[in-house]
Amino acid sequence: MDDIRFKIAEAARMAGVSPSTLRLWETQELIQPIRTPSGQRLYDLAVVERLKTIAWLRSEKGLNPAAIRENLRDGPAPTAESDPAEVVEDEGAETAEIAVGQKVRRLRRDAGKTLEAVAQATGVSVSQLSTFERTSHGLSFTALHAVASLLGTTIANLSGQEQREGGESLIRDGRWPRWPTTSSGVTIQVLAEGRNQMECNRFQLAPGASSEGAYQHEGEEFIYVLSGRLEIILDGDRFFELNAGDSFYFESRRPHSWHNTSDGETVLIWINTPATF
């Protein structure tokens, strides 16, 4: 059995990656396949197990090639079949900027779901999910909302806006707390902190910024445009263009998407109630 060798397509399938990924790992000096006289790559059982370990370190631990090489030199690493609960994470290595991705990873593991299971349920690719869990970047609002809903939470909660009790909340002009940046060109600033019935936020949208698809949830929403121009699409076929000074109300259960249609920045006051966003 030990002398069994697999071609690149077979080895890639066993490791859960593509053949091109195996070629990349070879250039990164993570693996060294066996070469036939004609130059064909072959992989024995030991290399296949190494491939599985590398794939696990990339998707679950988020390590870069240099860190993977160091990890493999230090000794056997957990395989894809390891119990995630047995893996101790370095809490100090995470920064505030990537806290949202870390929360998603923990919620996913607590729910006993693999990256593949979440990807299949939400339509988000495994590579996008893996990147987001490591960096808190790479998911659109639509995708993040779908992931949050699947894991029984909200985007607001992932961003830490429901951690303190409600009540009085005074925020001075220009001192708004910010949600961690997760979607390109979208900045969300909190106008009322705490676990409240209303989520009150100030949106700053760069030119071309959008939700990148439609999403829906329970509740009601109110938008007031401070500057710029925003297009809202409800139910996939109802288009509303909002200019500075315009306001708009709709029920959150209706599929909705949006994007900044102005040449410059668009700034909005956006209120959701109850806190289901």
Query: What whole-number distance in Å separates Cα of residue 163 and Cα of residue 177?
Result: 13
Query: What whole-number distance in Å separates Cα of residue 14 and Cα of residue 22?
Result: 12
CATH (one of 1.10.1040.10, 1.20.120.160, 1.10.1660.10, 2.60.40.1170) for 5-74: 1.10.1660.10
pLDDT for the residue numbered 85: 33
- Look up residue 195 and give its DSSP letter: B
Q: pLDDT: is 103 or 180 the higher one?
A: 103
Q: Where in the chain is the domain with CATH 2.60.120.10?
A: 164-273
Query: What whole-number distance in Å separates Cα of residue 33 and Cα of residue 172?
Result: 61
- Residue pointed to by tokens 């315009």: 246
Query: What whole-number distance in Å separates Cα of residue 99 and Cα of residue 105?
Result: 10
Query: What whole-number distance in Å separates Cα of residue 156 and Cα of residue 87?
Result: 28
pLDDT for the residue numbered 235: 94
Q: What is the mean pLDDT of residues 19-42?
A: 87
- Residue pointed to by tokens 């299949």: 120
Q: What would you report as the CA-atom Rg of the chain, rounded to the nearest whole angstrom? A: 23
Q: Where in the chain is the domain with CATH 1.10.1660.10?
A: 5-74
- Look up residue 59 and give its DSSP letter: H
Considering the chain, what is the average pLDDT of its residues?
80
**Chain centre to alpha carbon of residue 164:** 24
**Chain centre to alpha carbon of residue 202:** 22
CATH topology of domain 164-273: Jelly Rolls (2.60.120)
pLDDT tens-digit map of 187-237:
888 898 877 888 899 999 988 888 888 888 889 999 999 999 999 999 999
Residue 71: its H or E element: helix 65-74
User: β-strands 256-260, 266-273: how paired?
Assistant: unpaired
Within 13 Å, how many C-alpha atoms sit on residue 3's CB side? 0
Six-digit token string for 16: 């859960």
- Residue 257 — very low, low, confident or very high, per pLDDT cuts 50/70/90? very high
pLDDT tens-digit map of 91-148:
333 333 446 888 888 899 888 988 889 988 988 888 888 878 877 777 777 788 888 8
**Do residues 130 and 58 touch, judged by C-beta distance below 8 A?**
yes
pLDDT tens-digit map of 34-52:
888 888 899 988 888 888 8
Q: Where in the chain is the domain with CATH 1.10.260.40?
A: 91-157
The residues, any chain, with a CB within 8 Å of residue 277's CB and separated by 6 or more, are 145, 154, 155, 156, 199, 217, 219, 252
CATH 1.10.260.40: does it fit domain 91-157?
yes
**Chain centre to alpha carbon of residue 189:** 19
- Edge-to-edge, what's the strand order for the sheet holding 247-251? 186-190, 199-205, 266-273, 220-227, 247-251
